[in-house]
Amino acid sequence: MSASDHDHDHDPAHGDHGHAPPGHAPHGHTHDAAPTAIEARVKSIEALLVAKGYVDPAALDVFIDTYEHRVGPQNGARVVARAWTDPAFLERLRLDASKAIAELGYEGRQGEHMVAVENTAAVHNLVVCTLCSCYPWPLLGLPPVWYKSPPYRSRAVIEPRAVLREFGVHLDDTVEIRVWDSTAEIRYLVIPRRPSGTEDLTEEALAALVTRDSMIGAGLARDPAAASA
């Protein structure tokens, strides 16, 4: 799929909230360090929009709070855990991911037209948005800073194996890496491989092993022994 074939949605000005770089607090908090050039620009744009009456600061705070505290990777983790434990649900996820995900109550803006891609012993999937940062908000919350960075957006396509190694994911050379370009029309959820030794775990315990990065493909599900340590 060519990224140039699609128009991309762009994140709102506060797309990085909840994932601010070290030393920079999220919206509504006092910064201990001087804002970066991008943060200063965002604040200037926000101030201008508020001054012109285009943005209600209170509504903006509600929006940010929703995606920081009520919507996040825990939602996607529950979808993955259900897919690991319920073959019928996994099959529905394969056929129509958006519809299957909605069964668990996760749907909404930036979560339309979902496609689930499964990692196997032979294939590892990695998601990128080469033109901006299209991302399944209802499942994963707001995108991390690195997902939106130009180096990731370009290198994930050109040298995905090297990028994965930098995330600590070391795959055998025989494993095929498939890179999926998220767009305004379609967004992807990676179903990571279920860790071994988890046959007796509950669905809730399994969900605790699923990380945000593993659902992008930039990580793996947690080892149950390490997670309980």
Highest mean pLDDT among 61-70, 135-144, 148-157: 148-157
Residue-averaged pLDDT of the chain: 80
Burial 64-78 (b: 16+ CB within 10 A, else e): bbebbeebbbebbbb
For residue 123, list its beta bridge partners.
176
DSSP H stretches of helix in 150-223:
150-158, 160-166, 203-207, 212-216
Only one residue has tokens 């290198």, namely 155
Query: Confidence class of residue 184 from pLDDT cuts 50, 70 and 90?
Result: confident
The answer on pLDDT for 97 being more than 90 is yes
Domain ranges of the chain: 35-70, 72-228
pLDDT of 137: 82
Amino acid at 119: N
Query: Confidence class of residue 47 from pLDDT cuts 50, 70 and 90?
Result: confident
Residue 123 burial (CB count, 10 A):
13
pLDDT of 153: 95
Query: Confidence class of residue 180 from pLDDT cuts 50, 70 and 90?
Result: very high
CB 189 within 8 A of CB 97: yes
Sign of the dihedral through C-alpha 85, 95, 107, 133: positive
Tell me the CATH class for 72-228.
alpha beta
Query: Confidence class of residue 6 from pLDDT cuts 50, 70 and 90?
Result: very low
45 vs 153: CA distance, rounded Å: 25
95 vs 28: CA distance, rounded Å: 42
For the annotated catalytic residues, the residue numbers are 129, 132-134
Please report, for residues 13, 25, 29, 65, 145, the alpha-carbon distance to residue 32 in angstroms, rounded to integers and kept in the order given. Answer: 21, 8, 9, 21, 19
pLDDT of 5: 42
93 vs 27: CA distance, rounded Å: 35
Amino acid at 181: D
DSSP H stretches of helix in 110-149:
137-140, 145-148
The answer on pLDDT for 157 being more than 80 is yes
- Locate the DSSP E strands across 66-208: 114-118, 123-128, 176-181, 187-191
